[in-house]
Amino acid sequence: MEREPAGTEEPGPPGRRRRREGRTRTVRSNLLPPPGAEDPAAGAAKGERRRRRGCTQHLADNRLKTTKYTLLSFLPKNLFEQFHRPANVYFVFIALLNFVPAVNAFQPGLALAPVLFILAITAFRDLWEDYSRHRSDHKINHLGCRVFSREEKKYVNRFWKEIHVGDFVRLRCNEIFPADILLLSSSDPDGLCHIETANLDGETNLKRRQVVRGFSELVSEFNPLTFTSVIECEKPNNDLSRFRGCIIHDNGKKAGLYKENLLLRGCTLRNTDAVVGIVIYAGHETKALLNNSGPRYKRSKLERQMNGDVLWCVLLLVCMSLFSAVGHGLWIWRYQEKKSLFYVPTSDGSSLSPVTAAVYSFLTMIIVLQVLIPISLYVSIEIVKACQVYFINQDVQLYDEETDSQLQCRALNITEDLGQIQYIFSDKTGTLTENKMVFRRCTVSGVEYSHDANAQRLARYQEADSEEEEVVPRGGSVSQRGSIGSHQSVRVVHRTQSTKSHRRTGSRAEAKRASMLSKHTAFSSPMEKDITPDPKLLEKVSECDKSLAVARHQEHPLAHLSPELSDIFDFFIALTICNTVVVTCPDQPRTKVRVRFELKSPVKTIEDFLRRFTPSCLTSGCSSIGSLAANKSNHKSGSSFLSTPSSDGMLLRLESLGQPTSAITSNGYSSQADDWASELAQEQEPERELRYEAESPDEAALVYAARAYNCVLVERLHDQVSVELPHLGRLTFDLLHTLGFDSIRKRMSVVIRHPLTNEINVYTKGADSVVMDLLQPCSSVDARGRHQKKIRSKTQNYLNLYAAEGLRTLCIAKRVLSKEEYACWLQSHLEAESSPENSEELLFQSAIRLETNLHLLGATGIEDRLQDGVPETISKLRQAGLQIWVLTGDKQETAVNIAYACKLLDHDEEVITLNATSQEACAALLDQCLRYVQSRGLQRAPEKTKGKVSMRFSSLCPPSMSTASGRSPSLVIDGRSLAYALEKNLEDKFLFLAKQCRSVLCCRSTPLQKSMVVKLVRSKLKAMTLAIGDGANDVSMIQVADVGVGISGQEGMQMFVGLLFWFQFFCGFSASAMIDQWYLIFFNLLFSSLPPLVTGVLDRDVPANVLQTNPQLYKSGQNMEEYRPRTFWFNMADATFQSLVCFSIPYLAYYDSNVDLFTWGTPIVTIALLTFLLHLGIETKTWTWLNWITCGFSVLLFFTVALIYNASCATCYPPSNPYWTMQALLGDPVFYLTCLMTPVAALLPRLFFRSLQGSVFPTQLQLARQLARKSPRRHRTPKETFAQGCLPKDSGTEHSAGRTVSVPLSQPSWHTQQPVCSPEASGEPSTMDMSMALREHTLLERLSAPAPSLPTFSLLNWISSWSLVSRLGSVLQFARTEQLADGQTGRGLAVQPHSGRSGLQGPDHRLLIGASSRRSQ
Amino acid sequence: MTWSATARGAHQPDNTAFTQQRLPAWQPLLSASIALPLFFCAGLAFIGLGLGLYYSSNGIKELEYDYTGDSGTSNCSVCAEAGQGRAPPPPCSCAWSFSLPELFQGPVYLYYELTNFYQNNRRYGVSRDDEQLSGLPSALRHPVNECAPYQLSAAGLPIAPCGAIANSLFNDSFSLWHQRLPGGLYVEVPLDRSGIAWWTDYHVKFRNPPLVNGSLALAFQGTAPPPNWRRPVYELSPDPNNTGFINQDFVVWMRTAALPMFRKLYARIRQGNYSAGLPRGAYRVNITYNYPVRAFGGHKLLIFSSISWMGGKNPFLGIAYLVVGSLCILTGFVMLIVYIRYQDQDDDDEE
């Protein structure tokens, strides 16, 4: 509100200052009074005004404005934009030409009508769109948040739009950041907060953000009034992953600002009660919005081709006009000298030179023949697309019940492209998988615990799901399909028969309920939490527990356990504590009372270490030991100890640490037997529900798994972790260090002091590939070593097994450190930490030093559950000829595992792995691969190439397997190699290689790379690409729809124009038209527009289910078989023929008669219309009542308009005088006779050709349709119901079909379950019952045949195809938006019903959309 | 159970046949088996219709005579020669004699036909003022620009009726004489010249301007006749109901023909003894030869034609139906072959 003290550069604007010349912006608090502000109150008011002004002047406030027009600017701006479309300019030009008397053909005003109509429609649509944008802007602008007000000295509610740079904003959990905010304070004791960035990048895992260094140490509530620092940061840019700046405190100290300090607009605060921050970028300067700008208008392939065709039409038009002009010139030349009575001289009586006449004639011809360029084509196509989008949006199968959101398709211009996709780019997490980690099985000490019950439980979730939804289990009936082997996948196949769309794994209703209850946690569906323990293992664990409880007071409690049991115990301890999971209680969120500290390494200094283990710390503020101990965290740590009930005076002998050099007293582990009673008493809070908040879902999964074995993580403080066991009670581990996970080490470790043994233990959890290499070498000499070795090899086997199952594997290992070792390591570690430069590198080294000589405890297999139906979908997509690329940020192992799980990779196919660390290596590798791929046809065996030091090129699968496959290999490439491969000189090779491959998997790729890949493929291969997820569900609808319009719309016109053209031969090429101007102008606007529209929207060549079962049909769309260039010419030829027929028959019929111009022309129009409609009829594949109605309506409309028009006014339409023509014609039998015969004659060849082709050389699509028709013919009733679609309402029909099947097979009592079906189900048409017996019979017949060689689409296939429909739907539905196609995050699609702006708002958007939605902007 | 209307989310799409695109649909599959009956049925129907048309068209008699006088054989060539190169051509008359061996079945229509006359030429076709013709006084005084150069006379008076069409009004006239017995007297056959124009044209579209003092001539005062006309428009006929703009010949002429070869109705013969047609005997048509067509290679013809339910003589329609019908049958046979040939395959497929 006021000016900041140092506001020197510019006088007015206080809030935030931008150094125009510099590359940075400076942000100051808005709360600071300006220098020399006289009266605070007056200053405030004045400043307020000024600030507003200042903001509007040169900084973006937080107001969102995406509208294009204002009320005033709408008309000119919109018209201006519309005239960017050449067609519009052309038509306006033509219309204006009509005002020139010498050449006009129509009534000038009338000629303007169509183009005005078209412009009006478009303008209206634009207006509507803009209005919707305005509404959603308004909604977003008026979201509330709490901003600190200087006047009221507290946070007050403000609208988003009122936020300015420099404001202090306070947000609570689950709120969305209104702007880019620098995090200054968090309720979290450690100065952290968690955010979910799903709105920006679609990732749902939590990301951690940190309070700016220097503010994290504040004890009390952050007070914005005291904030006097100045923030210098970059100018607004769109790089989401980068933020640099520094904060300059009053005392001149500087602190760096990083990405970790910035909260981006659109993200959601999670797991943190409240945060306070200062706004740095607002409104359109926020990173999210900068990323959001500049939508690329994508022209669909069809549209491009259509434009080409339109150009041909223009050419044709010019040719015809030229021809006509020359003809007219000759005609004039011939007759003008002869004083012909019909020759009209110019108005002044002089005769017209033939050349001038020809020029005039040319122009008039262009006007008359303008119908050749279908003015309404673009509009019709837009309408068709809008309708298609509507239908896509309305698709029940793309509706998600959980979030109650339907699919929203934002792009108008891609619907028809959906049928032509050739490449699919997909993200893995959240798209292929649910990003829900579920503990599946584990192996400890070489023994595998298969967790069958757990697997069954997981299966039950699915079952519960399906039962809940459909109640009809289609037991057994479909089992022929399920050859997948894994219990679960078979079930997947069985399960999803109902038409419901939202079958995700886990009982989703339940999950929904749960997630509603626990808003704070991001990952906690019951499916993930309630793990059913393996009974054997559970028994062993409790055995450990018991014996330890007994032995706890003895010297070496663990020594009493057998090695296996001790391993098990350690394994679970490791699962429980080796993570960064935070425990919260719903009723007691973490508060500031607790300590803040840097999580990464709790022990900061050796003094700190010493001090913490000193009882004297109990007094707050104590700094008796170590001169350096006077550091800030000091007193806080004290307070934390006070808060720990068990910390009263447990002194451990310093000597026990075995560090004679320093006098360390340690409070050691706090769990003492005598404490237990009291502690338990204290803990009497009745079974608090604990919640685990993890950065990544797999951590939580492990903790939940351990909990299932009664090893419960109850508390995690900065330096302590408490674990509760049933007998042993609470064990509190001193957390000495946490060596966080990083992608290079691929592991994390915690260093703890074990309360029972008092030893210092390192628990490491990491990828098996690394951990297995770090194990303690075991000698094969002694029995123990051999045993170890055996365990390892067993574990390795199990790991391989897990990996093959697509589980994420983690190895758990342990290392016991002697005190000397620890002290030694600690020394160097602290050095590394305190090292000013490259401390990261040193810490990394330090971690590596620690994580050696590990003792393997066991391994876990976590399932990153695939989305439902993913493998099936992928295989279907494959069959459809789509290449699938998965681009993931995941590590290679995981990605490959998942790829196997979802059948993207096959175990019996070759996988080319491309890992290179340098440009040259990559080039060499690519060459090698290429050679290999090319030679593969000849040489089957996989070429094993040992790369140079830095490269690896091998076939992942055993040679024996790979030889078996004749299929093309798959390519796996990691991010680094991808970067090289995408270089200019290599990209062609890379593409070529990728083209040969069945699927491509890019691991560890950055978003930028992802977009580069997409761009590359799109531009180089000229292919249709789709970035998941996108609704390709209604392929059938989409496929040929627009083609229909394209063809019919144009052809009608061409025929029409042909008619006019032929007439020129009989009227001296004078550009006279026998067709009345009204018909000419409105023909394609009124009479012939509706039926093609309906056809375009509703036509399907093949029913969806057939498409689902026969995905290869999709290829016809890919190849644009239905709309090829030659189709255009074929149609042109046909149109020529048609026009000849339609012209010559009336011509001959009325030849040498007293017919007048318009009495002759009107039958021709009628004939043209009928021919047009019949033509459309021949091309229409699906006739619904809408088609009939619109065709009838068109004819009716024509006659009505004609009758009214011809009766309305005798003299009103100057160039033509159609009065009473139609009425007279209706009394003329010749009219009817001509109109009956001509269309038939005109369409005879087309009909002949079509039927011949349908019989003799049918296309694939036709075959499929044929099959689709035939199969139901066998079972009449199912067909009927099917043809009418199996709506969930009629799902009873389906059910009953299934019922019939299942009754005799396996579930005799099934009928009793009845239920879900909607009322209609029970009251199904009686036809059902009548045919029941028949169907039962046939079905049983089918089912009893083990390998059904069903020729066509039996009911069986029919059923399963339905499940596929829905599955595809759900897969697509839950696929997260991957904005690859546009290469920019946040552009577009993601859409949430209640979030107006795409991708920015909305806490949990789940729907995805369009490959490349053009954001309406 | 959750899947009921009550549990539906607010955004759940309507599950109707329409929104889910499950409208009942007929999906015909064009193939030989479907096209086969279609072709045969259509073919048979067309052939039947064609035969009917053909015979009814054949029953129509036409008698035509080219009186242009090009060849010099007819006695109109004198007039043709006389009119050569002179505008306007001098009045001239000639005659056409013919004899009917038997009754020319009535009703008989008398047409004149012009060939190579481009009434459908655009600049010609628009050269008229419908408002003027509908009797609008203001339009009478101010013809539209489209009429130019026949908009204003040389004296600057508005031309009524204006425009090229009116200017080129066909002005030959005919009278028919019948000689009942050889050597007998020629009796004039009454030509019914009323009702030759469309009823709506005559009654609605064409109206005389309001009479001034009961006189049509006064109403047209201040206008000039078209340059080619010898008489002003209000003197086209002595009959007050057939003069001015509502002169039937004029109205017929103003309905511009569609094709460069056209006929226009001149009269109908349906009165008195001739209501059944033209009885046998010798006939003579006296022609007032005024209209110059030789300059542009046109011809003038006189046509007597009887008429049937489907209008004048038109053999084409019948033939066309026969042809199309035969084509349909032919295609049908091809389809049949295809069907037989590929039927087996389909059956195989189905097994």
pLDDT for A807-851, tens place per residue?
A: 778 889 988 888 888 888 888 888 877 766 666 778 888 888 888
Handedness of CA A1098, A1101, A1105, A1107 (dihedral sign): negative
Which tens digits make up the pLDDT trace of A360-387?
889 988 888 887 777 767 777 777 777 7
Contact between chains at A347 and B145 (C-beta distance less than 8 A): yes
Does the beta carbon of B156 lie under 8 angstroms from any beta carbon of chain A? no
Does residue A572 register a pLDDT over 60?
yes
Which residues from chain B sit within 8 angstroms of residue A1149, using beta carbons?
314, 316-317, 320
pLDDT at B329 over 90: yes
- Considering the domain architecture, whether residues B285 and B327 belong to the same structural domain is answered as yes
Contacts of A1248 in chain B (CB under 8 A): 35, 331, 334-335
Band of pLDDT at residue A1093, cut at 50, 70 and 90 = confident
User: Among this protein's residues, is A427 annotated catalytic?
Assistant: yes
Which chain B residue's Cα is nearest to A471? B1
Domain final residue pick, B256, B276, B298: B256
* Range scoring the smallest mean pLDDT among A673-677, A1108-1112, A1129-1133: A673-677
Please give the distance of CA B275 from its chain centroid, rounded to a whole number: 23
Residue B206's pLDDT is what? 92
Same domain flag for B96 and B72: yes
CB contact under 8 A, B351 and A1351: yes
For A1250, which of B30, B133, B151 is closest by C-beta distance? Answer: B30
Q: Which residue of A has its CA nearest to B18?
A: A391
What are the pLDDT digits (tens) for A1356-1383?
222 222 222 223 332 232 222 222 223 2
Q: Please tell me the distance from the alpha carbon of residue A30 to that of residue A13, in angstroms, as a whole number.
A: 10
Mean pLDDT of chain A: 66
What is the pLDDT at residue A995?
79
CB contact under 8 A, A1156 and B164: no
User: Which of B256, B284, B300 is a domain's end point?
Assistant: B256
B262 with B250, same domain: the answer is no
**Among B residues 206-245, those touching chain A with beta carbons less than 8 Å apart:** 228
Residue B177 lies in a domain: no
Q: How far apart are CA A1146 and CA A688, in angstroms?
A: 91
In order, the DSSP letters of A705-766 are: HHHHTT-EEEEE-SSEEEEEETTTEEEEEEEEEEEEEETTTTEEEEEEE-TTT--EEEEEEE
Percent of chain A with pLDDT over 90: 4
Give yes or no: residues B91 and B240 share one domain. Answer: no
Rounded Cα–Cα distance for residues A35 and A49 (Å): 17
In tens, the pLDDT along A1312-1330 reads: 232 322 333 323 222 222 2
- HSE of A633 in the Cβ direction (CA atoms, 13 Å)? 25
| Whether residue B262 sits in one domain with residue B327 | yes
State the burial class of residue B210 (Cβ atoms within 10 Å of its Cβ: 0-12, 13-18, 19+). Answer: exposed
Taking only residues 76 to 135 of chain A, the set having a beta carbon closer than 8 angstroms to any beta carbon of chain B reads 101, 105
pLDDT tens per residue across span B110-120: 999 999 999 98
| Among chain B residues, CA nearest to A1231 | B310
Residues of A whose CB is below 8 A from B342: 1255-1256
Does residue B25 lie in a domain region?
Answer: no
Q: Residues near A785 by Cβ (< 8 Å), separated by ≥ 6?
A: A778, A779
Rg (CA), chain A: 38
pTM of the full structure: 0.69
> Does the structure show a pLDDT above 50 at B51?
yes
Q: Is A649 on the interface with B (CB under 8 A)?
A: no
Is the pLDDT at A326 greater than 90? The verdict is: yes
In a domain, B4, yes or no: no
Looking at residues A534-540, what average pLDDT do you find? Answer: 84
Is A500 labeled as ligand-binding?
Answer: no
Q: Are strands A154-159 and A144-149 parallel, antiparallel or unpaired?
A: antiparallel
pLDDT score recorded for residue A891: 63
Q: Is A126 annotated as a binding residue?
A: no
Closest by CA to A114, choosing from A1073, A1086, A1075, A1060, is A1086
Contacts B10 to A, Cβ<8 Å: 404
The answer to whether the CB atoms of B23 and A1287 lie below 8 A apart is no
**Residue type for position A473:** P
Report strand pairing: A433-444 vs A855-866.
antiparallel
In three-state secondary structure terms, A504 is: coil
Per mean pLDDT, which of A418-432, A1209-1223, A1390-1404, B176-190 is the most reliable? B176-190
Task: For A29-53, write each residue's pLDDT tens digit.
Answer: 877 765 444 444 444 444 444 444 3
Distance of CA A657 to the CA centre of its chain: 54
Do B236 and B270 fall within a single domain?
no
* Alpha helices for A18-85 (secondary structure H): 40-58, 74-82
Tell me, yes or no, whether B228 and B285 share the same domain.
no
Which B residues 280-339 touch A at CB under 8 Å?
291-293, 295-297, 309-312, 314, 316-317, 320-321, 324, 327-328, 331, 334-335, 338-339
Burial (0-12, 13-18, 19+ Cβ within 10 Å), A1044: buried
Non-local (6+) Cβ contacts of A1048 within 8 A are: A1091, A1092, A1095, A1172, A1175, A1176, A1179
ipTM value > 0.85 = yes
Closest C-alpha among B230, B265, B246 to residue B114: B265
Q: Other CB atoms closer than 10 Å to residue A1192's CB: what's the count?
A: 12
Q: Which of A399-403, A507-511, B104-108 has the largest mean confidence?
A: B104-108
C-alpha–C-alpha distance, residues B58 and B56, integer Å: 5
Q: Is B183 on the interface with A (CB under 8 A)?
A: no
- Asked if residue A229 lies in contact with residue A5, where contact means CB atoms within 8 angstroms, the answer is no
Does B40 contact A at CB distance below 8 Å?
Answer: no
Tell me the Ramachandran region of residue B85: left when phi exceeds 0, alpha when psi lies from -120 to 50, beta otherwise.
left
Q: What is the mean pLDDT of residues A1407-1416?
A: 27
* Residue A58: pLDDT band with limits 50, 70, 90: low
3-state secondary structure of B317: helix
Q: Is A1030 annotated as a binding residue?
A: yes
| Inter-axis angle of helices A1157-1179 and A1229-1256, nearest 10 | 20
Asked if B30 lies within 8 A of A1289 by C-beta distance, the reply is no
Chain A residues near residue B130 by CB distance under 8 angstroms: 1210-1211, 1214, 1217
Nearest-neighbour CA in chain A from B180: distance (Å): 31
Q: B66 and B161: one domain?
A: no
Picking from B211, B228, B256, the residue at the C-terminal end of a domain is: B256
In the structure, how many helices (H) and strands (E) does chain B have?
A: 10, 11
Which burial class, exposed, middle or buried, applies to B102 when counting CB atoms under 10 A from its CB (0-12, 13-18, 19+)?
exposed
Report the alpha-carbon distance of residue A1237 to residue A1235 in Å, rounded.
6
Catalytic residue among A395, A427, A1076, A1290: A427
Residue B312: what pLDDT?
Answer: 80
pLDDT band at B285 (very low <50, low <70, confident <90, very high): very high
Contact in structure between A1238 and B324 (CB atoms under 8 Å): no
Residues of B in contact with A1258 (CB under 8 A): 31
B54 part of a folded domain: yes
B235 shares its domain with B130: yes
Residue B342 lies in a domain: no
A1283, B25: Cβ pair inside 8 Å?
yes
Per-residue pLDDT at B252: 93
Written as one string, the DSSP assignment of A822-856 is: HHHHHHHHHHHHH-SSSHHHHHHHHHHHHS-SBEE
- Residue A128: the pLDDT is 87
B326 falls in which pLDDT band (50, 70, 90)? Answer: very high
Question: Both B221 and B326 in a single domain?
Answer: no
What is the tens place of the pLDDT at every residue in B203-258?
A: 999 999 999 988 999 999 899 999 889 889 999 888 888 999 999 999 999 999 99
Domain span at residue B319 reads 50-117+257-334
| Residues in a beta bridge with A208 | A194
Domain count, chain B: 2
Q: Which two tokens stand for residue A228?
A: 């006097």
Between A78-82, A1060-1064, B287-291, the lowest mean confidence (pLDDT) is in A1060-1064
The verdict on B140 and B210 lying in the same domain is yes
The residue length of chain A stands at 1417
Which residue from A minimizes the CA distance to B205?
A1210
- With respect to residue B231, please indicate whether it lies within any of the assigned structural domains: yes
Q: Is residue B348 part of a domain?
A: no
B191 assigned to some structural domain: no
**Mutation for B interface: A344, A1158, A1223, most B CBs within 10 A:** A344
CA closest to A1187 among chain B residues: B25
CB contact under 8 A, B311 and A1228: yes
Q: Compute the nearest-CA separation of B181 from chain A (Å).
A: 33
- Binned at pLDDT 50, 70 and 90, residue A1340 comes out as very low
| B129 close to B144: Cβ distance less than 8 angstroms | yes
A561-600 exposure pattern, b = at least 16 Cβ within 10 A, e = fewer: beebbbbbbbbbbbbbbbbbbbbbeeeebbebebbbbbbe
Q: Beta strands of A180-260 (E only): which ranges? A: 180-186, 192-196, 206-210, 230-234, 245-248, 254-257
At residue A1111, the pLDDT reads 66
Q: Are residues B241 and B133 in the same domain?
A: yes
What is the crossing angle of helices A487-495 and A870-879, to 10°? Answer: 70
Q: How far apart are CA B334 and CA A1118, in angstroms?
A: 34
A1020 is annotated as contributing to ligand binding: no
Q: Does A1262 touch chain B (CB under 8 A)?
A: yes
- A1244–B contact, CB cutoff 8 A: yes
Contact B314 A1230 (CB under 8 A): yes
CA distance A880 to A859: 39
Q: Which of A993-1007, A1063-1077, B282-296 has the lowest mean pLDDT?
A: A993-1007
Range with lowest mean pLDDT among A24-33, A85-94, A361-370, A1234-1243: A24-33
Tens digit of each residue's pLDDT (9 = 90 or more) over A739-751: 877 767 778 888 9
